Amino acid sequence: MQEKIVQLAQELIRRPSISPNDEGCQTLIAERLEKLGFEIEWLPFNETLNLWAKHGAGEPVVAFAGHTDVVPVGDEHQWNYPPFSAEIVGDMLYGRGAADMKGSLAAMIVAAEEYVKANPHHAGTIALLITSDEEAVAKDGTVRVVETLMERGEKITYCMVGEPSSSQILGDVVKNGRRGSITANLYIQGIQGHVAYPHLADNPIHKALPFLQELSSYQWDNGSAFFPPTSLQIANIHAGTGSNNVIPGELYVQFNLRYCTEVTDEVIKQKVVEMLEKHGLKHRIEWNLSGKPFLTKLGKLVNAVVDSIKEITGITPKLETGGGTSDGRFIALMGAEVVEFGPLNATIHKVNEGVSIEDLGKCGQIYHQMLVNLLDN
């Protein structure tokens, strides 16, 4: 299995599919799956290519989700090997996307192929949801496919997202949820004027200080068994004309919250507006919700994945919800149980991104064993 995975991973890495370009990765995958009797459906939206492939019928629907797009390479001269050459050195396969996530994508595909070959009449449905728009704006990828499937009443029961979740050693971390992320662009209004005539002006910086103090120190919640407490960070702040004798007319503050399931975006918005009103601040605020939090509780999928990892690696994984957002947030909206598991994330988005070949082989075995655990009894 390892050899097949590495070969496919190399073929994928050699296609320079910088987000949202797919560069033929999905055609390559579709051709392989079609040969095994998978039903192939293309769901393109604007520049983004999406693939929805299914084998079998009925429930449970076990889906593998992944992306073919990669982040830009950065300074190419800093790479030890050309980023799209898929060089193997010792146990390591190097290249942009090796760890995030063409390696695990290849492992998921080969695992599904092997399972279907051995069990052509398996229970339920095995599906693959593959997008080329995860790393950039993520507007025309998984989110649109999920909308389409929901409109049709199609279901996903269990979903494995192949994001690189492992931290120190393969199998040490499985993500069974993610925090939500919401950003506010806040404009606090004052009255511009001469610093020598403050009574004729209204300084928005001075007015905002007590509010910002309260905003940045407010305790939103205490987290939960799976989530750290919600955290608010001010990311950008700006006011002033650059001149030392002008009181500015407006203060701009941008802040982001990574929030857990103990609060909702509605509660957050309400509380911020309450604080603004309490401090008597004239303002305008724009919110941008990039993902609601989700949590997959202990259940059939988590057990199937944890057992598979234990069996293949001997390690008992920790369940975590940290890190940025992923496409799991969209699939969870379908009511699916969603977990993320994949190789080590130490080099993702960096120069000299790489993945252990042995780990890729084990990833494939784990994904395969997960199918056995979910579909064989």
Residues forming the active site: 69, 134
Cβ 45 to Zn ion shortest distance, Å: 19
Sole window of 33-41, 112-120, 162-170, 288-296 interacting with Zn ion (rule: CB under 5 A): 162-170
Q: CB-wise, 5 or 101, nearer to Zn ion?
A: 101
Rounded CA separation 216/200 (Å): 30
Closer residue to Zn ion, CB minimum distance, 114 or 163: 163
Under the criterion CB under 5 A, does residue 336 sit at the interface with Zn ion?
no
Angle between helices 300-313 and 357-375 (to 10 degrees): 140
Minimum CB separation from Zn ion for residue 104, in Å? Answer: 9
Whether residue 164 has a cis bond before it, omega within 30° of 0: no
327 binds Zn ion (CB under 5 A): no
Closest CA to 145 of 133, 157, 158: 133
Which CB sits closer to Zn ion, 103 or 364?
Answer: 103
Give the integer Cα–Cα distance in Å for 155 and 335.
8
Instruction: Convert residues 47-86 into a mask of x (bound to Zn ion by CB under 5 A) and - (unbound).
Output: ----------------------------------------
Q: Distance between CA atoms of 336 and 326, rounded to whole angstroms?
A: 15
Among 5, 70, 101, 360, binds Zn ion (CB under 5 A): 101
Stretch that binds Zn ion, among 20-28, 94-102, 261-269, 283-291 (CB under 5 A): 94-102
Largest CA distance in the chain: 83
Least Å distance, CB 352 to Zn ion, is 17
Quick check: 174 and 340 in contact, CB under 8 A?
yes
Residues 304-323, interacting with Zn ion (CB under 5 A): none
Nearer to Zn ion, 164 or 190 (CB): 164
Answer for the pair 237, 251: CB distance below 8 angstroms, yes or no: yes
Residues listed for the chain: 377
Q: In sequence order, what DSSP letters do the residues of 53-91 get, joined into one string?
A: EEEE-SS-EEEEEEE--B-----GGG-SS-TTS--EETT
Asked if 100 interacts with Zn ion (CB under 5 A), we say: yes
Select 56 or 342, whichever has its Cβ closest to Zn ion.
342
Q: How far is the CB of 97 from Zn ion (least distance, A)?
A: 9
**Cβ nearer to Zn ion, comparing 22 with 163:** 163
**Residue type at 324 in one-letter notation:** G
Choose among 374, 375, 326: nearest CA to 348. 326
Report how many residues bind Zn ion under the rule CB under 5 A: 3
Minimal distance in Å, beta carbon 101 to Zn ion?
A: 4
Distance between CA 120 and CA 130 in Å, rounded?
A: 22
Among residues 100 and 140, whose Cβ is nearest to Zn ion?
100
Q: Where does this chain touch Zn ion (CB under 5 A) — which range of 142-150, 163-171, 237-245, 267-275?
A: 163-171
Nearest CA to 346 out of 170, 176, 168 is that of 168
Amino acid at 340: E
Stretch that binds Zn ion, among 2-10, 142-150, 161-169, 307-315 (CB under 5 A): 161-169
- DSSP label at residue 132: S
Q: Taking CB positions, which residue lies at the least distance from Zn ion?
A: 100
Q: Which amino acid is at 123?
A: A
Q: Which residue has the tokens 């790479």?
A: 79
Beta carbon of residue 162, minimum distance to Zn ion (angstroms, whole number): 8
Tell me which residue of 234, 255, 240 sits closest to 205, measured CA to CA: 240
> Which residues would be at the binding site for Zn ion (CB under 5 A)?
100-101, 163
